[in-house]
Chains A and B, each alone.
Chain A
Amino acid sequence: MTTTTLAVLVPLLPFLGAAAGLLLGRAAPGFVRPLAVLPAVAALALAVVVAVRQGGGPSVDAATELTPTGSVPIELALHIDGFAALVAVVVGLVAACVQIYSTGYLREDPRYPSYAALVSLFTSAMFLVVYSGDLIVLLVGWEVMGICSYFLVGHYWETPEARAASIKAFLVTKLGDVPFLIGLFALAADAGSFEITKILGTVAHGGLDHPTLVALLLLAGVAGKSAQFPLHTWLPDAMAGPTPVSALIHAATMVAAGVYFIARLLPVFEASAAAMTVLAVMAAVTMVGSGLAALAQDDIKRVLAYSTMGQLGYMTGALAVGDRGAAVFHLLSHGAFKALLFLAAGVIIHAAGTNSLAAMSRMSNLRDRVPDAYWTMTVALLALAAIPPFSGFFSKESVLGAAERVTVGHTEHAPGAAGWTVLVAGVLTAFLTAAYAARLWLLAFRGRGEEAPDHGRQPLTMNVVLWILAVPSLAFGGFAYRTLPDWFDGNDLAPTLTTSVLGTGAALVGGLVTYAAWRRLTGVAARVPLGAVAAHPEGDAAQVEAEAIATHAPAYGDVASAPDPADPGRLLLGPLHRHAAAGFHLDAVYRELFVRPVLAAASLVRFLDREVVDTYVGGAGALPRWLGAAVRRAQTGNVQTYVSALLAGTVVLAVAALLVASGA
């Protein structure tokens, strides 16, 4: 089979798996799990084959026009370059791991068939986005991904948090998707084609008329999808979904789609210095803000969610300095270790019976209960904190290195201010990342107090996956940074000395500071009892997690934070902690800015509808009713009246006829 055929099969297999899973879900429950896992694994294998065949060489392009659309043609186009091939491999890897993990995680969930089908569909859509060479086809995948994401976030729809999170994800990402769509049209109108290669060709010849407008419109959609400031607020709330979903969608793939999209169309963005600056500021704000917020979260998954936003900020930062190789490099390594972090967090939540770090910090021996999760999570956290030689170190250093190259003026596209912004924010975020990673590790695994509840061994499927993902988290960066430039643009991805020292130093300082704070507060933790543990420890992990999410707000007063004085994050952040826990009150700002005006407008419309429009409608009904009542009065039942009227009418008609006949 040709590479093109294989590449077509990659998105097609999970799609067929989803269709078959939905159709057979009720009729043949035994087929659901194979139908979920096998297509994902097959797609991974095919993606690897495609990547090997592509091998970083010239991009594979294939296009077929299904039907003429009149003006700008829309084609089913493949465009596989090094980026697409490698991202597809990561997507396939994470999707396969998540599908395997889910068979254990949602072992007893009655809605597992629809869940698995949606995950398959999501995987298919993500492959479509990755391989697509046509922007409209990419948009189709983009939106299908979004739909699956909303459904999957709302998987525990019995809990109000999940319902609210699902709707919020929908609204916030749509807020970005509408400008995105307009931007796509504007881009196609300028370039005369939706095909990426042609668009890039147009850009290379300077044929773009409104680069800033197009870039900013596209940026809105990217910010919504990739959870960048200011459209990031849906991501922490989306943690109300099942953990595997968080790992797949909200860590490794969908949120990375925005970054991947910019990476594909980077020349379009580079055509506008304003857009690059906006991108840099956006990345910097997201990085630092999410780092601070992550330090204040109590829910382990929300910590990871904010961490994801920060790492995506690194990627957009790399794009802002015009180095998409670094961005996609970080995307790849981040996809692996963040998926691992989420999946391990799922195991921990199951084992501890709670998603609250404060409650975990009051359990001893949690790490002995889940040794696989303990070790793999340690690896992933070290990768996250960018400690050498874990893969996160190399990818993050490539980002910082790219920024540093811009600050000294080695590139022509990105403005120097963007480089400085990204570099400073990146180093600061390295510090914060290490701090919250250390905090998470210490609180989760170094707790003191009662014994952690024993729920027996975690399912094998869940643990195996952790180790599979631990390998790239550990080693991918170190092995890949030399070969990846061949796949990408050729920019050097090797860590430079300055940034390595800066970044690693900041990370070490962050970790040590957190450790010191934690040491100071260990005494406090014993004095303040805290904790809420799930009511059904024997249930499967999904049930435990759903209960943990549902009980967090009643138990601690807030879905994001807990009033735990022994939290090192509280000591480190000081007065900032309150604001950081609430995500710097962006939700409240949005409520004031958008929700309240919309509600007021809705009530105005309601008033207009009820009082003004309904008056006409009611009048239209009332007039015939009155006429009917009047006519009804004539229905007396008295035959004589009827005959009188009849004869009177006859006389009138006869006289009229006579007058007409006689010509009067």
Chain B
Amino acid sequence: MHLAYPAVLSALLFCTGLYGVLARRNAILILMSVELMLNAVNLNLVAFDVWLSKTAEETLHSGQALTLFTIAIAAAEIGIGLAIVLAVHRNRGTADIDRLRDTAEGHESQEGSAADGSDTDAPATGAAAEKAEATA
């Protein structure tokens, strides 16, 4: 088999995941996209490992071992990532990445209202406005 096939597929999957990371709004969807990217890397590792083990008589199988490690780390990452997303969602009422703009320029001026919003579990902006109505 041509090594180009898995390599190109890996590249395509990686860039798809990249697009998802950059374009998705929901944090969990972003985690999914990260998984895609990790898997693209895994595919690369496996393909090159197979190639090298046959061609260069390489018996370490480093590619497959690293794939296993990556899978384990991905599992850990998804657990921690989800825990963080949940904590953010509890505190902010949203898991939308582009609403978490505490580092934005001029954010301090809106700190007061944003803090109020998070206090009552109703953020000040956007879709959470209806929630604020409900609490009133």
Q: Do chains A and B touch in the complex (CB under 8 A)?
A: yes
A interface, CB within 8 angstroms of B: 632-633, 635-640, 643-644, 647
Which 3 residue pairs spanning A and B have beta carbons closest together? A637-B104, A637-B101, A635-B105
- Given contacts A638-B97, A638-B98, A639-B97, A644 and B22 within 8 Å (CB-CB): yes
A638 to B97, CA, bound (A): 7
Indicate if the CB atoms of B22 and A638 lie closer than 8 Å.
no
Indicate if the CB atoms of B18 and A637 lie closer than 8 Å.
no
Is B59 in the interface zone, CB < 8 Å from A? Answer: no
Contact code string B90-112 (vs A, CB < 8 Å = 1, else 0): 00000001101111110100000
30 contacts between A and B (CB under 8 A): A632-B105, A633-B105, A635-B103, A635-B104, A635-B105, A636-B104, A636-B105, A637-B100, A637-B101, A637-B102, A637-B103, A637-B104, A637-B105, A637-B107, A638-B97, A638-B98, A638-B101, A638-B104, A639-B97, A639-B100, A640-B21, A640-B22, A640-B23, A640-B97, A640-B98, A643-B21, A643-B22, A644-B22, A647-B18, A647-B22
- In the complex, the chain A residue whose C-beta lies closest to that of B104 is A637
Contact code string B59-99 (vs A, CB < 8 Å = 1, else 0): 00000000000000000000000000000000000000110
A643 to B37, CA, bound (A): 15
Identify 17 new A-B residue pairs, CB closer than 8 A, beyond the known A632-B105, A638-B97. Answer: A635-B104, A635-B105, A637-B101, A637-B105, A637-B107, A638-B98, A638-B101, A638-B104, A639-B97, A639-B100, A640-B21, A640-B22, A640-B23, A640-B98, A643-B22, A647-B18, A647-B22
Which residues of A sit under 8 angstroms from B105, Cβ to Cβ? 632-633, 635-637
Which residues of B sit under 8 angstroms from A633, Cβ to Cβ? 105
- Nearest CB on A from B56, distance (A): 24
- Nearest CB on A from B97, distance (A): 6
- Nearest CB on A from B15, distance (A): 10
Contact code string B12-45 (vs A, CB < 8 Å = 1, else 0): 0000001001110000000000000000000000
A78 to B104, CA, bound (A): 78
Which residues of A sit under 8 angstroms from B102, Cβ to Cβ? 637
Which residues of A sit under 8 angstroms from B22, Cβ to Cβ? 640, 643-644, 647
Which residues of A sit under 8 angstroms from B103, Cβ to Cβ? 635, 637
B interface, CB within 8 angstroms of A: 18, 21-23, 97-98, 100-105, 107
A561 to B43, CA, bound (A): 110
A644 to B19, CA, bound (A): 9
- In the complex, the chain B residue whose C-beta lies closest to that of A631 is B105
Which residues of B sit under 8 angstroms from A647, Cβ to Cβ? 18, 22
A635 to B101, CA, bound (A): 10
- Nearest CB on A from B92, distance (A): 13
- Nearest CB on B from A627, distance (A): 14
A87 to B101, CA, bound (A): 87
- In the complex, the chain A residue whose C-beta lies closest to that of B30 is A640
A643 to B107, CA, bound (A): 20
Which residues of B sit under 8 angstroms from A635, Cβ to Cβ? 103-105
Which residues of B sit under 8 angstroms from A632, Cβ to Cβ? 105
Q: In the complex, how many residue pairs between chain A and chain B have their CB atoms under 8 Å apart?
A: 31
Which residues of B sit under 8 angstroms from A643, Cβ to Cβ? 21-22
- Nearest CB on B from A3, distance (A): 82
- In the complex, the chain A residue whose C-beta lies closest to that of B105 is A635
Which residues of B sit under 8 angstroms from A640, Cβ to Cβ? 21-23, 97-98
- Nearest CB on A from B108, distance (A): 12
- Nearest CB on A from B107, distance (A): 6
- In the complex, the chain B residue whose C-beta lies closest to that of A634 is B105
A643 to B20, CA, bound (A): 12
- In the complex, the chain B residue whose C-beta lies closest to that of A638 is B98
A647 to B19, CA, bound (A): 11
- Nearest CB on B from A408, distance (A): 96
- Nearest CB on B from A80, distance (A): 79
- Nearest CB on A from B57, distance (A): 29
A481 to B52, CA, bound (A): 128
A362 to B22, CA, bound (A): 102
- Nearest CB on A from B88, distance (A): 12
A647 to B23, CA, bound (A): 13
Which residues of A sit under 8 angstroms from B98, Cβ to Cβ? 638, 640
- In the complex, the chain B residue whose C-beta lies closest to that of A644 is B22
Which residues of B sit under 8 angstroms from A636, Cβ to Cβ? 101, 104-105
- In the complex, the chain A residue whose C-beta lies closest to that of B107 is A637
- Nearest CB on A from B111, distance (A): 13
- In the complex, the chain A residue whose C-beta lies closest to that of B102 is A637
- Nearest CB on B from A625, distance (A): 14
Which residues of B sit under 8 angstroms from A638, Cβ to Cβ? 97-98, 101, 104
Which residues of B sit under 8 angstroms from A639, Cβ to Cβ? 97, 100
Which residues of B sit under 8 angstroms from A644, Cβ to Cβ? 22
- Nearest CB on A from B105, distance (A): 4
- In the complex, the chain A residue whose C-beta lies closest to that of B21 is A643
A250 to B9, CA, bound (A): 104
A583 to B92, CA, bound (A): 86
- Nearest CB on B from A93, distance (A): 77
A638 to B107, CA, bound (A): 12
A67 to B82, CA, bound (A): 85
A637 to B98, CA, bound (A): 8
- In the complex, the chain A residue whose C-beta lies closest to that of B23 is A640
A15 to B57, CA, bound (A): 102
A640 to B20, CA, bound (A): 10
- In the complex, the chain B residue whose C-beta lies closest to that of A635 is B105
A638 to B23, CA, bound (A): 11
A638 to B104, CA, bound (A): 7
- In the complex, the chain A residue whose C-beta lies closest to that of B103 is A637
- Nearest CB on B from A307, distance (A): 75
- In the complex, the chain B residue whose C-beta lies closest to that of A636 is B104
- Nearest CB on A from B110, distance (A): 11
- Nearest CB on B from A652, distance (A): 15
- Nearest CB on A from B25, distance (A): 9
- Nearest CB on A from B134, distance (A): 27
A633 to B105, CA, bound (A): 7
A460 to B107, CA, bound (A): 80
A201 to B122, CA, bound (A): 102
A635 to B102, CA, bound (A): 11
A392 to B107, CA, bound (A): 89
A647 to B97, CA, bound (A): 18
- Nearest CB on B from A633, distance (A): 8
- Nearest CB on B from A339, distance (A): 74
A342 to B97, CA, bound (A): 91
A638 to B96, CA, bound (A): 10
A72 to B23, CA, bound (A): 84
- Nearest CB on B from A482, distance (A): 95
- Nearest CB on B from A655, distance (A): 14
The interface centre, meaning the residue of A633, A636, A637 with most chain B CB atoms within 10 A of its CB, is A637
- Nearest CB on B from A442, distance (A): 82
- Nearest CB on A from B61, distance (A): 29
A493 to B78, CA, bound (A): 119
- Nearest CB on A from B84, distance (A): 13
- Nearest CB on A from B17, distance (A): 12
A635 to B104, CA, bound (A): 5
A369 to B95, CA, bound (A): 102
Which residues of B sit under 8 angstroms from A637, Cβ to Cβ? 100-105, 107
A482 to B21, CA, bound (A): 116
- Nearest CB on B from A175, distance (A): 59
Which residues of A sit under 8 angstroms from B107, Cβ to Cβ? 637
- Nearest CB on A from B94, distance (A): 14
